Amino acid sequence: MQDVNEIINLLKSHSKSDIELITKAFEFSQKAHEGQERFSREPYFIHPFEVAKDLANLQLDSKTIAAALLHDVCEDKSISEKTIKKEFGDETAFLVAGVTKLGQLKYHGAELQIENLRKMFLAMAKDIRVILIRLADRVHNMKTLQYVPEEKQKRIALETLEIYAPLANRLGMGKFKGQLEDLAFQYVYPEEYKKIKEMIKGKYEEKEKDLIKVKYGIEKELRENDIKYFHIDSRVKHLYSLFKKLQRPEINMNIDIVYDLIALRIIVKTIEDCYKVLGIIHKMWKPIPGKIKDYIATPKPNGYQSLHTTVFATGGKITEIQIRTEQMHEEAEYGIAAHWAYAESGKPREGGRFNPRLSWVNQLIEWQKGTKASKDFLETLRIDFFKDRVFCFTPKGDVIDLPEGATTIDFAYSIHSDIGNHASGAIVNNKFVSLDTVMKNGDIIEIQTQKNKKPSAEWLERAKTSLAKKQIRAAMKESGLFKRIIK
């Protein structure tokens, strides 16, 4: 039997009004779903209850948790948005309406899928909490996918793998991303899933035994070096993430050279302690060249921060170690949800504006306004936002975030259209290169320009991002070149 206190007790802080709102939403939803069942034959109310628990665990505000409890009550039309507004207020009703609208569109073809994506991002632009509820909703639905009719399973799983998991990743929500990918993996790629499961038999147990000695050695050294607060645990690599890694040419399905099946994670108090611990570990064991990554100084585009190193540990066992602060760990697990702090009034402290990490969402919406064709929108989405990212630097040290495979011409247009339109060449890491050079993580890039230089048809082939292509076409159209090419 579900108990509202299971939700309330997950919250680190709550007021009397928070408890009253959540309790009222709990009772209202429970009554609204009375007699309804899921495919699993379980009472339907279990679903909104579990979604609300997930969001309470993320420490979201009471209105979001109430909306999670109520997010399906309007589906059968017997309860109106007007009723929700009257009973729970404008803000909760707005969130419920946002989630309801997103849920009404079913994925029966590309056009509907694209339209749903558009609505998702527009909803996100208004309030990110709508998407957080939707992601938690998808996680719980995927946990019970085995009860859904077989003909629907692969479609829902594919949608999860291609849309929801990458979205969770872009929001920095590592925990949701990993769950969604692993839950979808077995339905989208059943044979590959079985193969990976077979490959890892006994591997995790073997690695865990090795890590016991490594962990003991680190604990001893940290205490001797006056690191007063630390916590060491391990992170098991998600199956889908392992599957993708095994497909890399340098790995070539050889699981014996995947060194991060289980990684040790050291959590400390301060950034200074992070670097101090890294030094201690490198004094203990020799690091593998090229395997030291400083995501604290240069965070990933989704905000992820941590130090990663891979060392020849006790007995020559190759081990990956991650070092981060408590705050970095919280953000790595929960991403944007960890930043979505609310005042007691329930209004965002930032006045509803995006955290800077979400600038890519605003950018996508701006591009969408000028994109009439659904096909073009989906191409933009796939190329520019759901692909792996690379980050490069301007000579002044500004970070430019672009999709993997982007060239220096994309880099030029990402700075300014005038720089792109007059680009004549580039200097990458102090070497002159052409404008079709593919960028790599950490490249320092300077774009050279000439006043008389103009975009050409070749540039459209060199450019990979929709922004660059759009601006190249605009410049060519203005000069009359685009018309001549069409003729």
Any idea which residues carry the catalytic annotation?
A: 75-76
Phi, psi dihedral angles at 110 (to 5 degrees): -60, -45
**Rounded Cα distance, 324 and 127, in Å:** 30
The number of beta carbons lying within 10 Å of the beta carbon of residue 80 is 12
Contact 32, 74 (CB under 8 A): no
Burial of 257 (0-12, 13-18, 19+ CB in 10 A): exposed
Beta bridge partners of 321: 264, 309
Tokens read off for 420:
């792109």
State the pairing for strand pair 307-312/318-325: antiparallel
Tokens read off for 284:
């203990």
Q: Closest by alpha carbon to 88, among 112, 111, 110, 71?
A: 71
The dihedral built from the CA positions of residue 47, 48, 50 and 54, taken in this order, carries a sign that is positive
Q: Could you tell me the end-to-end alpha-carbon distance of the chain, in angstroms, rounded to an integer?
A: 71
DSSP code of 160? Answer: I
Tokens read off for 468:
């660059």
SS (H, E, C) 402-454: EECCCEHHHHHHHHCHHHHHCEEEEEECCEEECCCCECCCCCEEEEEECCCCC
**Rounded Cα distance, 134 and 400, in Å:** 30
**Rounded Cα distance, 68 and 463, in Å:** 42
Burial of 394 (0-12, 13-18, 19+ CB in 10 A): middle
Contact 46, 38 (CB under 8 A): yes
Contact 236, 204 (CB under 8 A): yes
Phi, psi dihedral angles at 97 (to 5 degrees): -60, -40
At 290 the three-state DSSP class reads coil
Tokens read off for 263:
């990684």
**Rounded Cα distance, 50 and 40, in Å:** 15
